[in-house]
């Protein structure tokens, strides 16, 4: 059946969704209660056992309300939170009762592995330390004491689990549930220095995953409000606390040896030299709210391989997320609607410095780094190309944002990179305005000036002289309990470049409209949430030519067994190489967590497509199963596959297969051993190509790692990675390998 026929059939079925129950109007919830906390009356030992006398005399906070899947319904299990503090720490404890403690879900894992973490029972604490309802620190713990921490940005809706603090936690599973103790040093937080009492925004939550993932909080949630931190509790009574000196030194040592086979596949493996590179990163709290990070010969490498992606029939550069700690510190300060800051463009820096923080209503951040290599994305309307200039480049970013009213902001952004005959400078203004509890407006304008070296410009068909460019983005969103209405306009001039960001397409004008309606289920019903959405967009170039369009209608079901099923039908058009193609497609996926420690899913995507290499219409099929299994408390297995098949005229052009496996054995909350394998195979029919291609190409990447983390920044990594390549005539043969040792130590003052 053709994709267009399937799409039209789906639209008819979705039109029949009126059989779902009518949605009852919900009264607004009661305001969150405030709490007064007092100093601890004695010492507290963080061991997961709530036997200290100090816990008997401190503020107790109930978690009486379930906000999902229930809508401010009574919590199905009892949870008490206890809060106290001294001059050094704020202490939080949880007593989590469970009628069936044998069903508690708890597994060992590395810190911040959030997709796995949220499958376990866990508790979390949110601290809005400036009490301005804009940003909060988040700390989570599971019943075995595994940590996760994050920074939440209200304006951007961004929960950043790459942020790391050094704090203590311990947990114990008991005959009646589990207990948790947490100590968060004040010097790991940012807040106002004040001689009097401080008031912070405060929220505590418990996640209780069984047939459904029940989430209970210390306050109600209003589904008619799109501001989360506005609904939190307040804690007051914090006296004589200071952020401390906040001076930290993180020396590192990286030792590695890389071997390569120069005459592949018959040459000998050449043993590389052992290289030892010391480095130092320092963090200084210039003020309680401004943090300066500086690094000399820093270890900016990452110890986990990127998830591989299929790139056989693509037009644009692939996106890989940032994972390096130096750049992840305060990353939310640099978020803007146009991704003008993407720190993975910094590849091999000699040194770097960074400052982020907030003074009163003013938030600011900057970073600067000198890089040994200049990696570029050269974008256009029809595709993007990668370029690399083998010369030092100096890059920097400056960000300023001013709070306006209760929850709106205006901001300035500058990014710049220069070296030799090259430069790229970008500057502009952006804003976010909250119009009541349901409506927001966001905008950004940027102007760029760019010059490429003459050789690079000629090689990629770019202007040999300096050239300007402009970008404009504007959006409006209305969100209530049932409705989300969204509209945006995005204009990327043909000359606009943002080389410090991720920009793989320009010369576009895009109008985008989305409409979403949500049906909420009732406790014990056959669904927790069902929502439908309509999306329509149009992209044209600056000559007025239509280059892309879409009209899509989709639906998602969420129900028992923590299941989720989505189907979307899309009528698409795409302009390429002088022709406007119909590229309609259907996308369907289903995920569920049927058992403790098991998550599985599958997606399928049949589509009309374009064979970009041979410039002709095609049919494409994408297919991918996924499995994550925790085998006992210590062993975790992840398996996934992405299969892509492209055909035209009834004949197969290629089949690409990508299989990824990750096996992790967790010795305890601090140490694990991990093996990653990524196998990629592409089988082509050379007769279907207008140019010579290999019939078969294969590659196997492996990485073995032993990790020990005393805390988030005192670490030891010992590992190996290797690459094997093969083809129709060549078996998989090792092409290169690397052995590495990395040591890091956090010294705080």
State phi, psi for 548 to the nearest 5 degrees: -155, 145
| pLDDT on residue 275 | 87
Query: What pLDDT sits at residue 170?
Result: 96
**Biggest alpha carbon–alpha carbon distance for the chain:** 81
Neighbours of 288 (CB within 10 A): 22
Instruction: Please tell me the distance from the alpha carbon of residue 233 to that of residue 81, in angstroms, as a whole number.
Output: 13
pLDDT tier at 242, thresholds 50, 70, 90: confident
| pLDDT for res 155 | 79
Please give the structure tokens belonging to residue 435. Answer: 């119009």
Asked if residues 504 and 492 have their Cβ atoms less than 8 Å apart, the reply is no
pLDDT mean over 266-291? 81
Q: What pairing do the DSSP bridges indicate for beta strands 34-36 and 233-238?
A: parallel
Q: Which of 390-394, 538-542, 734-738 has the highest mean pLDDT?
A: 538-542
Region 137-146: mean pLDDT is 96
Question: If you search the block for the tokens 């306050």, which residue do you land on?
Answer: 219
What's the pLDDT score for residue 322? 60
- Choice among 46-60, 142-156, 247-261, 458-472 with the minimum mean pLDDT: 247-261
Quick: pLDDT tens for 289-302: 677 877 777 655 55
pLDDT at 316: 46
Q: Phi/psi of residue 375, each to 5°?
A: -90, 135
Percent of the chain with pLDDT over 70: 91
pLDDT score, position 352: 83
Residue 570 has pLDDT above 50, yes or no: yes
The token pair that represents 431 in the structure block: 């804003």
pTM confidence score: 0.83
CA distance 620 to 643: 10
Tokens of 176: 């009646």
Question: Residue 715 — pLDDT band, cuts 50, 70, 90?
Answer: confident
- pLDDT above 90 covers a percentage of the chain that reads 56
In this structure, of 352-361, 469-478, 696-705, the range with the lowest mean pLDDT score is 352-361
pLDDT of 19? 47
Q: Coil, strand, or helix at residue 10?
A: helix
pLDDT in tens, 59-118: 899 999 999 998 999 999 999 999 999 999 999 999 999 999 999 999 999 998 898 999
Within 10 angstroms of residue 606's Cβ, the number of other Cβ atoms is: 20
- For residues 101 and 473, give the distance between their C-alpha atoms in angstroms, rounded to a whole number: 51
CA-CA distance, 591 to 570, in Å (whole number)?
A: 21
Q: Residue 278: which pLDDT band, with cuts at 50, 70 and 90?
A: confident
Distances (CA, A) of 480 to 362, 369, 520, 542: 30, 43, 12, 36
pLDDT for 495: 95
Cβ atoms of 450 and 420 within 8 Å: the answer is no
Q: Give residue 13's pLDDT.
A: 58
> Which runs of consecutive H residues, i.e. helices, occur in 402-483?
454-459
Separation of alpha carbons 599 and 47, rounded Å = 31
- Structure tokens given for 545: 């030519």
The residue-averaged pLDDT of 203-225 equals 93
Of the candidates 572, 657, 652, 577, the residue with the CA atom closest to the CA atom of residue 618: 652
Close Cβ partners of 338 (under 8 Å, ≥ 6 residues apart)? 444, 446, 471, 473, 498, 501, 503
Give the separation between CA 187 and CA 300, rounded to whole angstroms: 25
Question: Across residues 485-512, what is the average pLDDT?
Answer: 94
713 or 273, which is more confident?
273
Q: Cα 25 from chain centroid?
A: 34
Structure tokens at 617: 């219409």
**DSSP track, 284-345:** EESSSSEEEEEEES-----SSPPPP---TT-SSPPP-----HHHHTTGGGG--SS----GGG
How does pLDDT run across 580-603, given as a tens digit for each residue? 999 999 999 999 998 888 999 999
- Strand 408-419 to 393-404 pairing: antiparallel
Q: What is the mean pLDDT of residues 221-247?
A: 86
Distance CA 5, CA 623 (A): 20
For residue 268, the model assigns a pLDDT of 83
Give the DSSP H or E segment for 716: strand 715-727
Handedness of CA 643, 603, 319, 505 (dihedral sign): positive
What pLDDT is stored for residue 244 in this prediction?
A: 65
Could you tell me the pLDDT band of residue 475, with boundaries at 50, 70 and 90? very high
Per-residue pLDDT tens for 112-132?
A: 889 899 999 999 999 999 898
- The C-alpha atoms of residue 61 and residue 745 are separated, in whole angstroms, by 37
- Residue 619's DSSP bridge partners are 608, 647
pLDDT classification of 329: cutoffs 50, 70, 90: low
Question: Can you tell me the mean pLDDT for 157-171?
Answer: 87
Residue labelled with tokens 């993180």? 250
Give me the pLDDT at residue 190, please: 83
In 3D space, the residue among 439, 683, 551, 580 whose CA is nearest the CA of residue 8 turns out to be 551
pLDDT digits (tens, 9 = 90+) for 620-677: 999 999 999 998 999 999 999 999 999 998 899 999 999 999 999 999 999 999 999 9
Q: What pLDDT, on a 0 to 100 scale, did the predictor assign at position 4?
A: 60
Residue 122: per-residue pLDDT: 97
pLDDT digits (tens, 9 = 90+) for 670-709: 999 999 999 999 999 999 998 999 999 999 999 999 999 8
User: What mean pLDDT, rounded, does the chain reach?
Assistant: 87
pLDDT per residue over 187-198, tens digit each? Answer: 888 888 777 889
Dihedral, 309, 312, 313, 316 alpha carbons, nearest 10: 50
pLDDT band, very low/low/confident/very high, at 328 (cuts 50, 70, 90): low
Q: How confident is the model at residue 245 (pLDDT cuts 50, 70, 90)?
A: low
31-238 topology per CATH: Immunoglobulin-like (2.60.40)
- Over residues 15-39, mean pLDDT: 70
For the chain, domain boundaries: 31-238
Sorted by sequence, the CB contacts under 8 Å of residue 686 that are 6+ apart come out as: 692, 693, 695
- Is residue 73 within 8 A of residue 66, CB to CB? The reply is yes
Tokens of 588: 């369907």
State CA 49 to chain mean position distance: 34
């Amino acid at each position: 059946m053709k994709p267009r026929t399937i799409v039209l059939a789906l639209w008819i079925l979705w039109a029949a969704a009126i059989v779902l129950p009518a949605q009852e109007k919900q009264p607004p919830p009661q305001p969150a209660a405030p709490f007064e906390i007092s100093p601890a009356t004695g010492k507290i030992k963080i061991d997961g056992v709530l036997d200290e006398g100090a816990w008997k005399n401190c503020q107790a906070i109930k978690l009486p309300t379930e906000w999902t899947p229930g809508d401010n319904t009574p919590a199905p299990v009892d949870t008490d939170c206890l809060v106290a503090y001294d001059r050094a720490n704020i202490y939080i404890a949880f007593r989590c009762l469970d009628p069936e403690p044998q069903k508690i879900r708890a597994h060992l894992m590395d810190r911040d592995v959030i997709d796995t973490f949220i499958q376990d029972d866990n508790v979390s604490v949110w601290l809005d330390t400036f009490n301005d309802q804009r940003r909060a620190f988040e700390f989570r713990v599971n019943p075995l004491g595994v940590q996760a921490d994050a920074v939440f940005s209200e304006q951007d809706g961004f929960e950043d689990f790459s942020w790391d603090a050094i704090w203590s936690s311990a947990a114990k599973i008991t005959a009646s549930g589990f207990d948790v103790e947490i100590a968060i040093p004040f010097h790991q937080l940012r807040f106002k220095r004040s001689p009097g009492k401080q008031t912070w925004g405060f929220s505590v939550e418990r996640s209780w995953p069984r047939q459904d993932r029940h989430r209970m909080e210390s306050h109600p949630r209003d589904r008619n409000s799109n501001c989360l931190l506005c609904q939190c509790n307040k804690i007051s009574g914090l006296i004589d606390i200071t952020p401390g000196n906040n001076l930290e030194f993180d020396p590192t040592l990286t030792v590695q040896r890389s071997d390569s086979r120069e005459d592949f596949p018959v040459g000998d493996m050449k043993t590389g030299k052992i290289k030892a590179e010391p480095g130092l990163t320092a963090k200084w709290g210039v003020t309680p709210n401004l943090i300066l990070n500086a690094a000399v010969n820093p270890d900016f490498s990452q110890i986990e391989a990127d998830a591989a992606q299929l790139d056989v029939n693509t037009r644009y550069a692939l996106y890989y997320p940032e994972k390096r700690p130096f750049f992840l510190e305060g990353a939310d300060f640099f978020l803007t609607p146009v991704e003008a800051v993407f720190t993975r463009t910094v590849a091999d820096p000699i040194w770097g410095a960074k400052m982020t923080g907030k003074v009163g209503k003013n938030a600011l951040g900057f970073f600067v780094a000198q890089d040994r290599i200049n990696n570029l994305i050269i974008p256009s309307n029809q595709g993007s190309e990668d370029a690399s200039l083998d010369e030092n480049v100096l890059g920097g970013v400056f960000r300023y944002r001013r709070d306006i009213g209760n929850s709106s902001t205006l901001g300035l952004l500058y990014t710049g990179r220069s070296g030799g005959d090259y430069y790229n400078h970008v500057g502009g203004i952006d804003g976010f305005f909250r119009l009541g509890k349901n409506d927001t407006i966001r905008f950004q304008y940027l102007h760029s000036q760019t010059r490429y070296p003459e050789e690079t410009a000629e090689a990629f068909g770019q202007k040999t002289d300096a050239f300007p460019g402009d970008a404009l983005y504007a959006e409006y969103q209305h969100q209530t309990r049932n409705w989300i209405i969204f509209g945006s306009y995005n204009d990327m001039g043909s000359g606009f470049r943002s080389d410090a960001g991720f920009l793989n397409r320009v010369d576009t004008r895009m109008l985008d409209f989305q409409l979403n309606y949500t049906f909420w289920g009732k406790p014990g019903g056959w669904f927790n949430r069902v929502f439908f959405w309509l999306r329509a967009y149009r992209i044209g170039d600056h000559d007025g030519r239509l280059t892309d369009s879409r009209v899509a209608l989709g639906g998602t079901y969420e129900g028992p067994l923590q299941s989720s099923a989505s189907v979307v039908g899309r009528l698409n058009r795409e302009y390429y190489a002088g022709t406007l193609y119909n590229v309609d497609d259907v996308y369907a996926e289903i995920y569920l967590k049927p058992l403790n420690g098991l998550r599985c899913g599958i997606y399928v995507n049949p589509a009309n497509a374009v064979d970009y290499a041979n410039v002709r219409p095609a049919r494409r099929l994408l297919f991918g199963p996924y499995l994550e299994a925790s085998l006992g408390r210590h062993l975790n297995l992840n398996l996934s596959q992405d299969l892509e098949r492209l055909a035209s005229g009834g004949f197969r052009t290629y089949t690409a297969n990508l299989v990824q496996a990750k096996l992790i054995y967790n010795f305890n909350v601090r140490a694990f051993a991990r093996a990653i394998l990524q196998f990629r195979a592409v089988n082509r029919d050379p007769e279907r190509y207008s140019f010579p291609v290999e019939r078969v190409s294969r590659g196997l990447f492996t990485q073995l790692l032993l990790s020990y983390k005393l805390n988030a920044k005192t670490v030891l990594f010992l590992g190996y990675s290797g690459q094997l390549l093969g083809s129709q005539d060549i078996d998989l043969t090792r092409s290169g390998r690397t052995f590495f040792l990395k040591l890091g130590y956090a010294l705080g003052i």
